Structure 1
C-alpha cells in the first residue's frame, strides 16, 4: 500500500498540469528555504570583512612601503574612512612609543647610577700595564740583538763554506787542467803562465798527473786512455761551468787552456777513430782481419764512440765514419756507368727443385708482396728464411743490375757498417730504444706482409745521439743514387723499367731498415731530409698518367665496335683460368681492370688512383651496353582466365596470339640474332661480375687500405664496388625478359599440333589405346634446351646454364602451360558443340570425362584422346623437370594437369 501511495503521489495531479507545486518545492530546496533544513533565509553568502590596520599588515611591515598596493588592498574603503583609520593607527603607535619609553627610562637612569666610581678603579687597574710594556720591549730588543749576532755568524760561516767550496772547485779545475795537459802531452810556454798565486797549485797538480799518467799508459790502450781523458774533460767542463756561474776570473783566464785541451782531445780521438776504422774496413777478402784482431778494433771503436758521446760530438763521429768508411765505397760502387758495367763473376745459385713447384702453386698470384717483382730463395718478401746469421735480406739480382748494386751495398753495410751502428746504438742507448733481438724475425715477417715496418710508440726524430743510418749510410747512398743514377733510376718515360726500379728500390729500403739497430733509427731515416727528397724524385703521378693512357686507349679502341657478337675463340688461353668472355670489348675491359692491379703495373702509393680507374672502367662498360643493346620488345600484361579451371591466376608477358601480333612477329632469323645477342650480353655481364669479385677477394681487398663508410661500417670500398657492379647487372633482368618472350613464343608455336589432335584420332585407321606421348611434345621445350646448350653440354654456356636456366625455364613453362590449357579448353568447347550438332541434343559425354552416351565408338574415341593428352602433359612435365623447373610451385601447370585428368561434370561444376 505504501508503494502504491508513493507511486500515486509521484503522479502529477490532474488539476495541476504544469507541476507548479513540484517546481516550487525544488526551488525552495535549492535556495535553502525548505523547512527540513532547519535554518532561516538569513544564512546568505559571507561578505568580505575589512580588518583594521595593525602591525601584522603586510603592506605596512614591508621593507619598502608601496602606496599603490596599500590603496588597492583598501579599495572597498572610502578616502575619509581610510584617513580615519590611519589617524587611529597613528594614535595607537604613539601610545605604544610612550609606553616603551616609560618602561625603559627607569633602567637607563639606574645604569648611570651603577657606573659611578668605576673610572677610578679602571685607572688603578691600567697603571701597571705601562711598566709591563716597557719591560717586554726591552726584552725583545735584547733577544733581537742576540738573534742578529747569531745570524751574522751563520751567514759568515755560509760564506766561508761557499768560498771554501769554490776554492776546492778551483783546485779541482786547476788539477783537471794540469792532469789533462799531462795526459794529452800538452806543454805550456813560459810566457803563458797564469797568476803567481795559482802557479804552485798547477805545478803540484802537473807533477801528480805526470806520475799517474806514466803508469796508466802502460796499463791501457790508447782508446782507453782517450776515453778516460774524455771523461776527465767532461768533468772539467762541468766544474768550469759551475765556477763561471760564480763569476770567477780564474775560469776566464783558463778558458784558452780548456779550448786547447778540447781541440787536442777531439783531434786525438778523430785520428784514432779514423785509423781504427781504416784498419777495420776491409776492401777485399784478403784484407779481412782475424776475429781476435777484429774484436779488438771493435772494442777500440766502442771506446771512441763513448768518448764522442761524452763530449756530445755525435756529428763529428758521423763525419769521420762517412769520410773513412762509406764515402769511398759509395764513390767506387755508385757511378754513372755502374748499372751497365758487367757484374763480377759469381758462382751461380744452386737450383732447388722445390722452387719451381712453389712458383707453380701461386695460382692466382699472391698480392701480399707489392714490392716484389722477382722471386728468389733469398728474397725475404717471399719467404722468411734467414740467409745467414746476420739476418741480411738480399734481393734477387738475376738479370737486374740495380738489384745487384743494392745487394752490394747491403752486403757492405752488413759487413762493415752494421757493427759500428750497433756499437753506437749501445753507447747512446739512453736516447734511443733498442729493438729486442728475439722478436726481430716476427717484426720482419709482419713487415714483409705489409710492405713496411710499423713504428708504433716510436718518438719523433731525435737530435741527440748517433744517427749513423740516416746521416751517414742513407745520406751518402741516396745522394749518390740521385746524383749519378738519377737519369736511369728515376726515368719515368719507360714505365715498365720505372716500376721495376721503384719496386727494387722499395725492397732495398725495407732490407736496409732491417739492418737498422733500432726502430728509432728507422723512424729517423724516414724523417730525414734526404729521404723526403729521394721520395719526391719518384714521379708517381706521371707514371700513372702513362699507364692510364695505355689502358684507356686499348679499352676505347675495343669499345668502338657496337656489335654484340661472339668475337673470341673458345680456346682463348689468356682467360683459360678465369670465367670466359664472348665479346672482345668485354675481354678488353676485363684486361684493363686486371692490369690495374697486376704486379707489372700496380704501385701501392697509387692504389687510390687505380681504384678510381677501376670504377670508371665499369661505368664506361655500362655506357657501352646502353648504346649497343638492341631495342627491347615490350610485352603487355595479359590476364589469362581459363574457363572450367579451379582457379584463374594473372600472368605477365604472355605473347599475343592475335592476327596483328602474327603479322608483326619478327622472322626466325631475326629472333635467332636477338637470342644470340642477349645470350652474349648476359654471359659477359655475369663473367665480368664473377671475375671482378674474385679479383676483389684475392687482390684488391688486400692492396687497398682499410676504410669505413659514414655509418662506421667496414669494407666501404667493397660496398662501392658492389654498387658499381649492380648498375651493370641491372641489364640482366631486362635481357632475361627479352629471352623469355622469344623462347615462350617459339615454345608456344610448337603447341600447334594440339589443335588437330582430335582429327588425327578420328582419321586414324587403327583404334588402339595410345601408349606413348605425341611426337610434338619433345619439341615444345627444345628452343630452351638449344638456347642453354643442354643437349650439347657446351662449356661456353655453362655460366648461362648455372645462372639463368632455372628461372627462364620456369617462366617459359608457365607460359606454355597457360597456352596449353587454353587449347584444351577450346578443344572441349568445340567437341561439345560438334556432339550437340551431331546428336541434336545435349549429350552427357565429355572430351575429358566419361558419359552415358549411347554411341560406344564416340566414347572410346574420346577416351583415346583423353589418354593421349594425359601422356603428352606428363611427358611435358618430365621435360620441364629435367630443366630444373619446380612443377609443384607452378599454378599454370597445375591447372593444365587438372584439365587433363578431371571429368567433365567436375569441370562444369567448377565453371558454374
Structure 2
C-alpha cells in the first residue's frame, strides 16, 4: 500500500506491454509484434519479453515448491503412458476399419438403387410415351374411320354403323341430325388428338403421321362447314347445336362465325347496302344517310339472326365462346358501309357525319341489347370487330372542323370591332356571338358525348378569347394605339361593354351552366362546373379594367374645363375689380360632361350600383385633379406676389413713394376668394349628382386648402 502511495510500482512492466494478451485464445504472435513495433523498438520489446519469461520461470518454480507433493505424485501416475496409449489405439483402429467397410457397402448399395430407380423412371417415361403414341395412332385411325363412315353415309334404320368400332349411339332422326352428331363426336376425338400431339409433337412418329392428321382436320372442317350451312339454311336448331359444339371442341369459333356471316348476314346486308352506285357518288345527301339502313338491319337481325343468338345464349349450352354479334353482324355491316357508303363516313359534311354517328350508336345499342348480361356486353365491346366498327367515325377530324367553324366565326366577329346588336339583350355583336358560339358547343346537332372534354375546352377557350380581346383593347386605348378598335370607342361604348360582360357572367353562371351540365351528365358535373365558374370569374375580372377606362375618359372630359382656371387669374390681374361674390363658369361646367353621361339614353344599361361606382370614381379623379391644379395656381400667384412686394419695398426705400396700385387686398387674395366660391359650388354640384362631398376625402383636402388661402376682409 505504501509503495502504491509513494510511487513504487509492484509491476515494473510498461503500459504498452499487456500480459493478458498472451492468454487470448486467438493470440497471434506476428500480429501482436506488428502492432507494437510501430511505436516500440524491437530491442525494447525483446528485453521486455525476456524479462517476462524469466518472471514466468520464477513463478513456475515457486508454484512447484509450494505444491511439491502434488507435483511428485503426478509424476508417479504418468508411468507407462505410451503403453496405455498403444493399448487404447488398437481397438479404435479396428473399429474404424469396420466402419469404413460398412460405409463402402452402403455407398455401393445406394448407387445400385439410384441406377435402378433411374432405369425404372426412364422405362416408365418410355412406356408412357409409347402408350401416348399408341393412343395417338389409335385416335387418328378412329377419326379416319369416322370420317370415312361420314363420307359413305351408312345409315341403317336410323342407326349409324361404325366399321370396327361397333355401333354408335342410336338416334331417332335420320339425315342431318345424325350427321351433325357424328361430326360432334369426330370433333371431340380431334380435340383429344391435338392434346396427344401437343405432348409428343417432336417425336419422329408424329412427323410420319402429320400428313394424316392434317388431312383429317381439313376434312372435318370441310364437313362441318357444309353441315352448319345446311343447318343455317333450314334453321335446324339440333343440327346447329351439334355443329357449334363441334366447332367449340376443335377451338375454331371463327369458322362458325364466318359461316354464319356468309350464309345469313351477308345476303340481307348486301341488299341493304347494294354498293357504290353512280347515284350515291353524285347525289350524296340522303344517299349517305344510314338511319334507315340501320333500321332494316335491325329488322333482319330480329327476324333472321335471333334464332342463332338464342342457341348460343341458351342455359348450360357451353357455347358462350361464340360472338356472332361482333364477328359476324358488326363485321359484315362495317364492310358494307365502307364499300357501299363511304360518303357517310366523311367528316367533311359535319351535320351528315354526326347524324350517321348517332345512328350508329343507336344501332350498337340495339345490338348490345341481344347480350344476356352486363358481362356479355363488356365482352362484346372488347372484341376487335366492335372497336373497328367504332373507328369508322373519325371524331378528331369532326371536332377539328367544328372547332374551325365555331372559333373562326367568333374571331371574325371580333375583328369587326364594336358593332351594335339589334333585338338582343346584348349591346354588341361580339358579346352576342360569344354566347351563340358557347351554346353551339352543346347543341345536339354539334355536340358528341365522347368529345365532351374537347367541347368543354373549346367553350373555355372562347370565354378566355373574349376576355383577352377586351383587356388588349383597353390596354391599347391607354397606350393611345390608333390601330386598335378600342381607341375610337366612346364612353357609352365602354359602358355597354361593361353591361355585356356582367350579363355574360350572369348567364354563364345561370342558365348556360345548367344547360351545359345537363348535356355533360353527372359523371363530370363537378369538374365541369368548377371550370365554367372559373372562366366566368376571369371574365368578370375585366369589369374593373373597363370601369377604370370609362371613368378615366369621363374624368378627362371634365378636367378639360380646368383649362379656364387661368382666365380667373387674368380677370384680376392689373385690374381694380372688387372681391368676387359669385362662382365662376369653371365650377358650373366642371361636372357637366359627367352629368350629361349619367342622363344619357344608355341609362337602361346602367344599374344603380354601376351608376354609383362610376359617379364616385369620376368625382374622386376630377376633384383630385382640381385640387392639384388649384394648388399649382395659388403657388404661382404667391410667388409672383412675393416678387412684386419686394419690388415695391425697394421703390419705397429709394423714395419713389407708395405705389398707386398698392391696396389692402391683393389680386392673389381676390383669386383665392374666387376659388373658394368655385369650390363651394363644386361641392354643391357633387351633392346634386348624389356624391356626399363631406365624405369625399379628395374634396375635403381641396376645401381645406382654399379655406386656408382665404383671408378675412373688413
TM-score class, shorter-chain normalisation, is: 0.5 to 0.7
Is residue 2:182 matched to residue 1:229?
A: yes
Q: How does 1:18-29 map to 2 (within 5 A)?
A: none
Closer/same/farther in 2, CA of residues 183 and 92 from structure 1, 3 Å limit = same
CA distance in 1, matches of 2:371, 2:461: 42
Closer/same/farther in 2, CA of residues 405 and 66 from structure 1, 3 Å limit = same
In 2, are the aligned partners of 1:597 and 1:700 still within 8 Å (CA)?
A: no
The Cα shift of 1:621 comes to: 3.3
The Cα shift of 1:127 comes to: 8.1
Is residue 2:292 matched to residue 1:404?
A: yes
* Partner residue in 1 for 2:56: 93
* Partner residue in 2 for 1:445: none
The Cα shift of 1:736 comes to: 1.6
Q: How does 1:94-493 map to 2 (within 5 A)?
A: 94-96=57-59, 107=74, 110-113=77-80, 116=83, 180=146, 184=150, 186=152, 205-206=165-166, 209=167, 213=170, 216-217=171-172, 220=173, 225-226=178-179, 228-234=181-187, 236-237=189-190, 269-280=224-235, 297-336=236-275, 401-426=289-314, 465-486=321-342, 488-493=343-348
Closer/same/farther in 2, CA of residues 607 and 96 from structure 1, 3 Å limit = same
Is residue 2:515 matched to residue 1:698?
A: yes
* Partner residue in 2 for 1:687: 503
Unpaired runs of at least 5, structure 2:
155-161, 480-486, 562-579, 583-588, 628-663, 665-679, 703-714
In 2, are the aligned partners of 1:273 and 1:304 still within 8 Å (CA)?
A: yes
Is residue 2:354 matched to residue 1:499?
A: yes
The Cα shift of 1:318 comes to: 1.7
In 2, are the aligned partners of 1:743 and 1:783 still within 8 Å (CA)?
A: no
CA distance in 1, matches of 2:554, 2:364: 63
Q: How does 1:70-81 map to 2 (within 5 A)?
A: none
Is residue 2:20 matched to residue 1:65?
A: no
CA distance in 1, matches of 2:324, 2:187: 23
The Cα shift of 1:402 comes to: 1.8
* Partner residue in 2 for 1:510: 365
CA distance in 2, matches of 1:160, 1:618: 81
SS in 2 for 1:715: helix
CA distance in 2, matches of 1:630, 1:80: 98
CA distance in 2, matches of 1:483, 1:621: 45
- 1:860-884 C-alpha deviation (Å, 9 max, x unpaired): xxxxxxxxx9xxx999989959xxx
Is residue 2:426 matched to residue 1:580?
A: yes
Which structure shows the bigger proportion of residues in helix conformation? Answer: 2
The Cα shift of 1:597 comes to: 3.8
Is residue 2:426 matched to residue 1:568?
A: no
* Partner residue in 1 for 2:491: 675
In 2, are the aligned partners of 1:277 and 1:301 still within 8 Å (CA)?
A: yes
SS in 1 for 2:337: helix
Is residue 2:443 matched to residue 1:598?
A: yes
Closer/same/farther in 2, CA of residues 133 and 415 from structure 1, 3 Å limit = same
CA distance in 2, matches of 1:820, 1:128: 131
SS in 2 for 1:329: helix
- 1:187-231 C-alpha deviation (Å, 9 max, x unpaired): 89xxxxxxxxxxxxx96643xx17x64xx34xx465653454345
The Cα shift of 1:617 comes to: 3.9
CA distance in 2, matches of 1:180, 1:257: 14
The Cα shift of 1:718 comes to: 4.3
Is residue 2:534 matched to residue 1:722?
A: yes
The Cα shift of 1:680 comes to: 1.6
Q: How does 1:635-654 map to 2 (within 5 A)?
A: none
Q: How does 1:776-855 map to 2 (within 5 A)?
A: 786=599, 794=604, 797=605, 800-801=606-607, 804-808=610-614, 811=617
In 1, are the aligned partners of 2:248 and 2:319 still within 8 Å (CA)?
A: no
Alignment RMSD, CA only? 6.9
SS in 2 for 1:65: helix
* Partner residue in 2 for 1:853: none
CA distance in 2, matches of 1:473, 1:328: 11
Is residue 2:7 matched to residue 1:52?
A: no
CA distance in 2, matches of 1:506, 1:890: 67
CA distance in 1, matches of 2:324, 2:264: 11
The Cα shift of 1:335 comes to: 1.7
SS in 1 for 2:32: coil
In 1, are the aligned partners of 2:513 and 2:529 still within 8 Å (CA)?
A: no
CA distance in 2, matches of 1:163, 1:738: 97
In 2, are the aligned partners of 1:817 and 1:893 still within 8 Å (CA)?
A: yes
What number of residue pairs does the alignment pair up? 610
Pick one of 720, 736, 740 that aligns with 2:547.
736
CA distance in 1, matches of 2:97, 2:21: 58
In 2, are the aligned partners of 1:53 and 1:86 still within 8 Å (CA)?
A: no
In 1, are the aligned partners of 2:312 and 2:319 still within 8 Å (CA)?
A: no
In 1, are the aligned partners of 2:427 and 2:497 still within 8 Å (CA)?
A: no
Closer/same/farther in 2, CA of residues 400 and 467 from structure 1, 3 Å limit = same
- 1:332-387 C-alpha deviation (Å, 9 max, x unpaired): 1112379979xxxxxxxxxxxxxxxxxxxxxxxxxxxxxxxxxxxxxxxxxxxxxx
The Cα shift of 1:536 comes to: 5.1
Q: More displaced, 237-246 or 531-540?
A: 237-246
Looking at both structures, which has the greater relative contact order when contacts are Cα pairs under 8 Å and sequence separation is at least 6? 1
In 1, are the aligned partners of 2:289 and 2:352 still within 8 Å (CA)?
A: no
- 1:643-675 C-alpha deviation (Å, 9 max, x unpaired): xxxxxxxxxxxxxxxxxxxxxxxxxxxx99743
SS in 2 for 1:492: coil
The Cα shift of 1:46 comes to: 9.3
Closer/same/farther in 2, CA of residues 332 and 105 from structure 1, 3 Å limit = farther
CA distance in 1, matches of 2:414, 2:204: 91
Unpaired runs of at least 5, structure 1:
1-44, 189-201, 281-296, 342-396, 433-464, 573-578, 635-670, 709-713, 751-757, 761-775, 822-836, 838-868, 897-912
In 2, are the aligned partners of 1:226 and 1:269 still within 8 Å (CA)?
A: no
Closer/same/farther in 2, CA of residues 706 and 412 from structure 1, 3 Å limit = same
The Cα shift of 1:313 comes to: 3.4
SS in 2 for 1:306: helix
